[in-house]
């Protein structure tokens, strides 16, 4: 009898200890990315005296905002277990459309921006329909979209984009309000809206549910297809916003604007702790992921390293983050 | 015993029937494309153009074989493009026109490709994370290394090394023969060996495969090694064809090889498909590019047409299921 009680006690203690350890690991997994970001900022400030100068920080945040807006959209798609490779193609489409249709006239900024964002959202709708109705894997559906949008873009411009960007749009890309870059303000607004949408609304909860287990969600009465299509529409819409901001930032039309943003945004989302399999992750994590990558790129320049080192660092950060998450995950379970 | 054979037979017939049905559909598409092409352009069926098409198909074809192995296990390898670039600049850079260096360099390059695959496989197996993101990481690292090595075309190949891409063995171009041997060996491995069965089993359901006693970790690592090797082989072939090392030569091969595999009927979710389908997928893509070029369709419209064909091919396959 006595031995039995002891075993039970020990067992309970072990379980309690394991619970505690699990909770700590869970917290670590949730906050690891922010701790790394904080550490990186300290290291960067020590490594280069220029890093913390207002001008460098402003530039860095402008760059981060552009990738950041795309990454918020990519987070939505990855949360439902999808992927969107077509974001860069959409960004470049925004660039050539805006330049051509605005033709440098400030009065046309608003209507053209609305038209562009409508087109971007429409592309997202097509992506979503291909994935849900035609049952094509997201990877290959959005790859097809890249080719088609790219072709249309070049047919439209004849290979050489025409038109020019009016001051009104340039302001959104590179201006500031009271010292704060406008692009950063847009990014913050997008983040706040996305966090509210994901945490406070039924839609947000359903989005996580669909990513976690589409079959269960369907059986629980969630319209899975609507959620998936919405995620792709949000992603393309935000790619459109980022494309317009980037066009304003560089100030001219570019048929290849945003090249690389598709993979960089996916990398930032995953580094930020969102699972590529869907169902788990957060927009704030993606924002931290974006900042980590942009700060590292910035350091490469400040330390006068070969610019191509950025690629190696990017790859190491991706694999390093995965290794870290895998470790925290294994210990927790 | 009798009931056992009765149960086994329909299952076997079903699986064969499935494979054949899918394969027949793909081969019909390819045949139609070839017939239509020869009607649309008289140049298409000239021996010179056909030799040209097959040589073009070999570069994509070799790496697509490796990609097929990976996708069959429900994986994906995005790093093949930068591996091709790396092997190309290293091969041309190290050979530097010296004939004696050919064999050691070729062996070294293939080992390097295998090592890259080994790294991918080990990381994926150990961390249990999505292959997409792991190979995205290695893709970035390798391309960075390539650019640190050189940003411009580099090196020189000895004249004898041109044989790999330009040689003929009787009436058959040497690279086509080489590709043929590779395909036959791969089909044999996938269909007739235990290792091949294990690949399909791992891709079909990794957990079930593991519980059935299959060393799925080994299978996972092995397919990435095969893929890395095939990327290195494509790198060597392209170096021979261009006679120089190009730091961006591999760009696009990652997506093209995946597309060829999927058009060939292999399922992205793993466990179903095969190399014969991939060969057809590669030929469909190459013949399509060729006929669009012969008809002087601008590259702009070629992109649109290719995008539509990829999407409709995949939509048709899904619809059939």
Give the closest of B130, B148, B262 to A306, CB-based.
B148
Residues A287, A187: Cα–Cα separation, whole Å: 9
Give the closest of A83, A270, A312 to B144, CB-based.
A312
- How high is the pLDDT of residue A330? 63
In DSSP terms, which residues pair with B168 in a beta bridge?
B173
- How high is the pLDDT of residue A30? 73
Q: How far is CA A120 from each of CA A88, A107, A135, A172, A257, rounded to the nearest angstrom?
A: 11, 21, 22, 18, 15
Burial, A189: exposed, middle or buried (Cβ in 10 Å; 0-12, 13-18, 19+)? Answer: exposed
Instruction: List pLDDT tens digits, range B203-250.
Output: 999 999 999 999 999 999 999 999 999 999 999 999 999 999 999 999
- Other beta carbons less than 10 A from residue B248's beta carbon: 17
Q: A7 pLDDT band (50/70/90 cuts)?
A: low
In DSSP terms, which residues pair with B154 in a beta bridge?
B245
* C-alpha closest to that of B185 among B198, B174, B170, B196: B196
Interface of B with A in 48-77 (CB under 8 A): 76
Instruction: List pLDDT tens digits, range A47-67.
Output: 999 999 999 999 999 999 999
- How high is the pLDDT of residue A28? 73
- Kindly provide the b/e burial profile for residues A285-303, where b requires at least 16 CB atoms within 10 angstroms of the residue's own CB: bbbbbbbbbbbbbbbbebe
Report the predicted TM-score, pTM, of the whole model to 2 decimal places.
0.89
Q: What average pLDDT does the structure give for chain B?
A: 90
- Which is it for strands B168-169 and B172-173: parallel, antiparallel or unpaired? antiparallel
**Which among A262, A263, A318 is the top mutation candidate for probing chain B, defined by the most B β-carbons within 10 Å of its own β-carbon?**
A318
Computed from CA positions of residues A10, A13, A19, A21, in that sequence, does the dihedral angle turn out positive or negative? negative
pLDDT(A13) > 80:
no
B182 touching chain A per CB within 8 A: no
Across chain B, where does the E strand assignment appear?
168-169, 172-173
Computed from CA positions of residues A281, A283, A288, A294, in that sequence, does the dihedral angle turn out positive or negative? positive
- How high is the pLDDT of residue B55? 86
Give the closest of B137, B262, B305 to A315, CB-based.
B137
Contact B71, B245 (CB under 8 A): no
**Which residues of chain A have a CB within 8 Å of the CB of B126?**
326
- Kindly provide the b/e burial profile for residues B2-34, where b requires at least 16 CB atoms within 10 angstroms of the residue's own CB: eeeeeeeeeeeeeeeeebeebbebbbebbeebb
pLDDT(A167) > 70:
yes
Residues A188, A283: Cα–Cα separation, whole Å: 11
- How high is the pLDDT of residue B20? 62
Instruction: List pLDDT tens digits, range A222-268.
Output: 999 999 999 999 999 999 999 999 999 999 899 999 999 999 999 99
Residues B139-167 have a mean pLDDT of: 94
Instruction: List pLDDT tens digits, range A267-292.
Output: 999 999 999 889 999 999 999 999 99
Q: What is the DSSP letter of B154?
A: B
Phi, psi of A103 (to 5 degrees): 50, 35
DSSP string spanning B108-150? HHHHHHHHHHHHHHHHHHHH---HHHHHHHHHHHHHHHHHHH-
* C-alpha closest to that of A190 among A129, A130, A117: A117
The C-alpha of A13 sits at a distance from chain B's nearest C-alpha, in angstroms, of 30
User: What length does chain B have?
Assistant: 321
- Other beta carbons less than 10 A from residue A210's beta carbon: 28
* C-alpha closest to that of B223 among B26, B16, B80, B18: B80
Across chain A, where does the E strand assignment appear?
176-177, 180-181
- A307: tokens are 């610019």
Contact A76, A197 (CB under 8 A): no
B320 touching chain A per CB within 8 A: no
Q: How far is CA B135 from each of CA A49, A215, A226, B200, rounded to the nearest angstrom?
A: 35, 29, 31, 21
- A122: tokens are 């429409």
pLDDT(B201) > 50:
yes
Q: Residue B311 and residue A306: Cβ atoms within 8 Å?
A: no
Please tell me the least confidently modeled range out of A8-12, A54-58, B131-135: A8-12
pLDDT(B181) > 60:
yes
Q: What is the DSSP letter of A22?
A: H
């Amino acid at each position: 009898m006595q031995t039995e009680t002891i075993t039970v006690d020990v067992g309970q203690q072990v379980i309690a200890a394991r619970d505690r350890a699990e909770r700590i690991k869970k917290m670590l997994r949730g906050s690891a990315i922010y701790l790394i970001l904080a550490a990186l900022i300290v290291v960067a400030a020590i490594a280069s005296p220029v890093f913390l100068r207002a001008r460098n920080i402003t530039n860095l945040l402008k760059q981060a905002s552009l990738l950041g807006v795309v990454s918020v959209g990519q987070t939505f798609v990855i949360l439902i277990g999808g992927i969107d490779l077509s974001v860069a193609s959409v960004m470049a489409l925004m660039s050539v459309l805006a330049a051509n249709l605005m033709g440098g006239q400030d009065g046309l900024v608003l209507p053209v921006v609305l038209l562009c964002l409508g087109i971007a959202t429409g592309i997202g709708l097509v992506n979503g329909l291909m994935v849900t109705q035609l049952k094509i894997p997201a990877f290959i559906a959005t790859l097809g979209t890249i080719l088609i949008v790219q072709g249309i873009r070049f047919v439209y411009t004849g290979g050489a984009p025409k038109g020019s960007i009016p001051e009104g749009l340039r302001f959104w890309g590179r201006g500031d309000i009271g010292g704060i870059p406008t692009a950063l303000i847009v990014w913050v607004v997008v983040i706040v809206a996305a966090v509210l949408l994901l945490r406070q609304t039924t839609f947000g909860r359903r989005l996580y549910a669909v990513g976690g287990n589409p079959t269960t969600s369907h059986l629980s009465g969630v319209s899975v297809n609507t959620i998936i299509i919405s995620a792709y529409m949000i992603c393309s819409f935000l790619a459109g916003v980022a494309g317009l901001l980037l066009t304003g930032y560089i100030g001219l039309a570019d048929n290849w604007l945003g090249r690389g943003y598709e993979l960089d945004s996916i990398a930032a989302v995953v580094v930020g702790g969102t699972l590529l399999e869907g169902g788990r992750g957060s927009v704030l994590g993606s924002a931290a992921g974006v900042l980590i990558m942009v700060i590292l790129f910035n350091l490469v320049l400040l330390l006068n390293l070969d610019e191509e080192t950025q690629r190696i660092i990017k790859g190491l950060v991706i694999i390093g983050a995965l290794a870290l998450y895998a470790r925290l995950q294994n210990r927790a379970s | 015993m009798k009931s056992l054979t009765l149960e086994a037979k329909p299952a076997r017939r079903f699986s064969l029937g499935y494979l054949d049905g899918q394969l027949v559909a793909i081969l019909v598409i390819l045949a139609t494309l070839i017939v239509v092409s020869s009607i649309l352009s008289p140049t298409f069926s000239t021996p010179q153009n056909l030799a040209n098409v097959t040589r073009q198909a070999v570069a994509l074809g070799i790496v697509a074989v490796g990609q097929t192995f990976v996708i069959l296990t429900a994986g994906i390898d995005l790093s093949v493009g930068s591996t091709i670039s790396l092997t190309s600049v290293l091969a041309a850079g190290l050979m530097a026109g010296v004939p004696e260096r050919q064999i050691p360099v070729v062996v070294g390059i293939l080992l390097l490709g295998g090592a890259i695959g080994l790294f991918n496989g080990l990381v994926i197996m150990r961390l249990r994370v999505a292959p997409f993101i792991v190979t995205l990481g290695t893709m970035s690292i390798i391309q960075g290394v390539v650019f640190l090595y050189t940003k411009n075309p580099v090196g020189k190949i000895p004249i004898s090394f041109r044989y790999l891409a330009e040689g003929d063995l009787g009436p058959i171009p040497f690279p086509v023969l080489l590709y043929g041997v590779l395909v036959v060996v791969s089909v044999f491995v996938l269909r007739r060996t235990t290792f091949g069965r294990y690949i399909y089993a791992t891709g079909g359901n990794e957990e079930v495969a593991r519980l059935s006693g299959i060393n799925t970790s080994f299978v996972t690592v092995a397919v990435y090694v095969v893929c890395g090797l095939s990327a290195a082989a494509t790198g060597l072939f392209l170096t021979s064809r261009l006679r120089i090392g190009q730091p961006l030569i591999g760009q696009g091969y990652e997506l093209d090889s995946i597309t060829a595999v999927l058009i060939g009927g292999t399922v992205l979710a793993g466990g179903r498909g095969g190399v014969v389908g991939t060969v057809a997928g590669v030929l469909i893509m190459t013949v399509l590019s060729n006929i669009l070029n012969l008809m002087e369709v601008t590259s702009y419209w070629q992109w649109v047409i290719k995008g539509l064909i990829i999407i409709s091919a995949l939509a048709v396959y899904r619809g059939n299921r």
